[in-house]
Amino acid sequence: MKLLITGTTGRLGSALVRRYSARHEVLSAGRGELDLSRPESVVGVLRGKDFDLLINCAGITSPDACERQPELAQRVNAESPAAMAAECQRRGARMIQISTDYVFGGETADLLDEASPAEPVNHYGQTKREAEVAVLSACPSALVVRVSWLFGSGSSFPDQILREAREGKEMEAIGDKWSVPTSVHAIAEWLEKLWDTKPLITGPLHLCNSGSATWQSYGQTVVDLAHEIGLLDHRIEVKGNRLDDFPHFIARRPRHTLMSNARLSAILGHEIRSWQEALREWLIKKPGS
């Protein structure tokens, strides 16, 4: 399988490259080569690449950055993925578009499945939702996967918590915003099982571990597990604060984006393990632990 992966400097893209390079021919397209701020240039770049599957992990993921530069976010997050999808359709290649739990409005605490209404409350979510629709319209065989609260690569939330705990800092995290922490290593494993199924699995599809968390409970679990396995010599309390206490946020954040992985579980034929179990495994294997 010849893979083309975009966004390879990001948390998920870099993890995919590390996993797949040993078993597949992996090409990457960095910002210097594939300028997503110029959607009109995307097709020309892709036509110079030989690939069977394109996994688009690239994008502007900061909600506040998207609010500050809405036109740039529109080009990068929505228009360029649409161009990628059109080229994949033309050449008969598979496409996987990485999306987000921020396509949901977060107004209710309901568990969200793939059929739940996508009603984003900020420009980041709007552009990612537009990409979902545009990709599937241009390339109906595409798979659109929604992910949330990634850990396991790059400088993620657990890395920040561990660093602050070791420095003896008092720690606080938002206690009234809910989602599902998810391992990038699990996503890489799931995608490899999903991209070549017969019949093809098409999007949208939620790729997340099981369970739920607030940033506060997520952080506290990091501390507790790290103490349990000997990464911290003492336990620290992660105190809770409120989303409304962050007036410096430019973009509105959805409060409840807890996604169901029932469809993923049915496709794979087994239960999806909890984020706590995946987090514990990663902490044990984490380089430098």
- Where are the domains positioned within the chain? 2-154+181-209
* Spatial contact of 35 and 58, defined as CB atoms under 8 Å apart: no
Would you state the pLDDT for residue 288? 60
What is the rounded (10 degree) CA torsion for 181, 185, 191, 192? -160
Would you state the pLDDT for residue 122? 97
Would you state the pLDDT for residue 278? 98
Tens digits of residue pLDDT in 69-90: 999 999 999 999 999 999 999 9
Residue pointed to by tokens 């599902």 = 180
> What whole-number distance in Å separates Cα of residue 104 and Cα of residue 116?
8
pLDDT, averaged per 10 consecutive residues of the chain (289 residues), comes to 94 95 90 91 94 97 97 98 98 97 94 97 98 98 97 91 92 95 97 92 96 97 96 92 87 96 97 98 81
> What whole-number distance in Å separates Cα of residue 107 and Cα of residue 60?
24
> What whole-number distance in Å separates Cα of residue 65 and Cα of residue 123?
9
| Local structure of residue 245 (DSSP, 8 states) | G
2-154+181-209 falls under which CATH superfamily?
Answer: NAD(P)-binding Rossmann-like Domain (3.40.50.720)
Task: For residue 185, give the nearest of 220, 218, 147, 159 by alpha carbon.
Answer: 147
Would you state the pLDDT for residue 31? 79
Would you state the pLDDT for residue 289? 54
Tens digits of residue pLDDT in 166-179: 998 899 999 999 99
Would you state the pLDDT for residue 228? 95
pTM over 0.85: yes
